Amino acid sequence: MADVDSLQRVAAGQGSVEHFDVLIVGAGISGIGSAYHLQEQCPQKSYAILEAKDTFGGTWETHKYPGVRSDSDLYTFGYRFKPWIGAPIASAEEILKYMGEVIDENGIGDHIRYGHTITRCSWSSADNLWTVEAIANGSHKSFTCNFLWMCQGYYDHNRPYLPEWEGIEDYKGLFVHAMKWDPATDVTGKRVLVIGSGATAATVIPAFAEKAAHVTMLQRSPTYFFCSPNANELADRLRQIGIDEPTIHRVVRAQIMFDQDVITQRCLTEPDVVVEELRALIRAYAGDDFEFEPHFAPKYRPWQQRLAFVPDGDIFQAIAAGKVSAVTDTIDRFTEKGVLTASGEELEADIIVATTGFNLSVLGDIPFAVDGKPIDWPDTTTYRGMMFTGVPNMLWVFGYFRASWTLRVDMLGDFVCRLLNHMDAKGAKRVEVRFRPEDHNMPRLPWIEGENFNPNYLMRDLDKMPRRGDKVEWQHNQDYWREKDEVPKIDLDGAEFAYS
Contact present, 334 and 172 (Cβ < 8 Å): no
**264 and 291 fall within a common domain:** yes
pLDDT at 8: 47
**172 and 313 fall within a common domain:** yes
Arithmetic mean of pLDDT, 477-484:
91
DSSP string spanning 237-283? Answer: HHHHTT--HHHHHHHHHHHHHHHHHHHHHHHHH-HHHHHHHHHHHHH
**Domain C-terminal end among 336, 356, 376:** 356
Determine the Cα–Cα distance for residues 46 and 31; give it in Å rounded to an integer: 15
**22 and 104 fall within a common domain:** yes
Residue from 411, 481, 52 nearest 258 by CA: 481
Arithmetic mean of pLDDT, 182-204:
96
Percent of the chain with pLDDT over 70: 96
pLDDT over threshold 70, residue 5: no
pLDDT band at 1 (very low <50, low <70, confident <90, very high): very low
Contact present, 413 and 36 (Cβ < 8 Å): yes
pLDDT band at 457 (very low <50, low <70, confident <90, very high): confident
- Facing residues of 191 across strands? 214
pLDDT over threshold 60, residue 4: no
**385 and 269 fall within a common domain:** no
pLDDT over threshold 90, residue 291: yes
The residue that leads in pLDDT, 71 or 190, is 190
Crossing angle, helix 29-41 and helix 405-426, to 10 degrees? 40
**326 and 395 fall within a common domain:** no
Range of the domain at 305: 162-356
Reported as type and span, the H/E element at residue 11 is: helix 4-11
**Domain C-terminal end among 302, 337, 356:** 356
Q: Is the peptide bond preceding residue 66 cis, with omega within 30 degrees of 0?
A: no
- Facing residues of 343 across strands? none
**150 and 166 fall within a common domain:** no
- Count Cβ atoms within 10 A of the Cβ of residue 126 and give its class: 0-12 exposed, 13-18 middle, 19 or more buried: exposed
Arithmetic mean of pLDDT, 158-186:
96
Residue from 212, 232, 412 nearest 318 by CA: 212
Number of domains in the chain: 2
Arithmetic mean of pLDDT, 66-87:
95
pLDDT at 15: 58
Q: Is 425 helix (H, G, I), strand (E, B) or coil?
A: helix
pLDDT band at 71 (very low <50, low <70, confident <90, very high): confident
**287 and 170 fall within a common domain:** yes
pLDDT band at 249 (very low <50, low <70, confident <90, very high): very high
pLDDT over threshold 90, residue 133: yes
**334 and 483 fall within a common domain:** no
**57 and 206 fall within a common domain:** no
Chain center to CA of 294: 30
pLDDT band at 452 (very low <50, low <70, confident <90, very high): low
**212 and 343 fall within a common domain:** yes
Determine the Cα–Cα distance for residues 108 and 381; give it in Å rounded to an integer: 33
475 φ/ψ angles, rounded to the nearest 5 degrees: -160, 155
Core vs surface per residue 73-105: b (16+ CB within 10 A) or e: bbbbbbbbebbbebbbbbbbebbbebbeebbee
Contact present, 99 and 344 (Cβ < 8 Å): no
pLDDT over threshold 80, residue 14: no
pLDDT band at 435 (very low <50, low <70, confident <90, very high): very high
pLDDT over threshold 60, residue 13: no
pLDDT at 192: 98
The 10s digit of each residue's pLDDT in 311-366 is 999 999 999 999 999 999 999 999 999 999 999 999 999 999 999 988 889 999 99
Percent of the chain with pLDDT over 90: 86
pLDDT at 9: 45
pLDDT over threshold 60, residue 205: yes
**295 and 166 fall within a common domain:** yes
pLDDT band at 391 (very low <50, low <70, confident <90, very high): very high
pLDDT at 460: 85
pLDDT over threshold 60, residue 119: yes
pLDDT over threshold 70, residue 208: yes
Determine the Cα–Cα distance for residues 438 and 474; give it in Å rounded to an integer: 12
**Domain C-terminal end among 306, 325, 356:** 356
Read off the CATH number of the domain in which 125 is found. 3.50.50.60
Contact present, 408 and 401 (Cβ < 8 Å): no
pLDDT band at 453 (very low <50, low <70, confident <90, very high): low
**377 and 348 fall within a common domain:** no
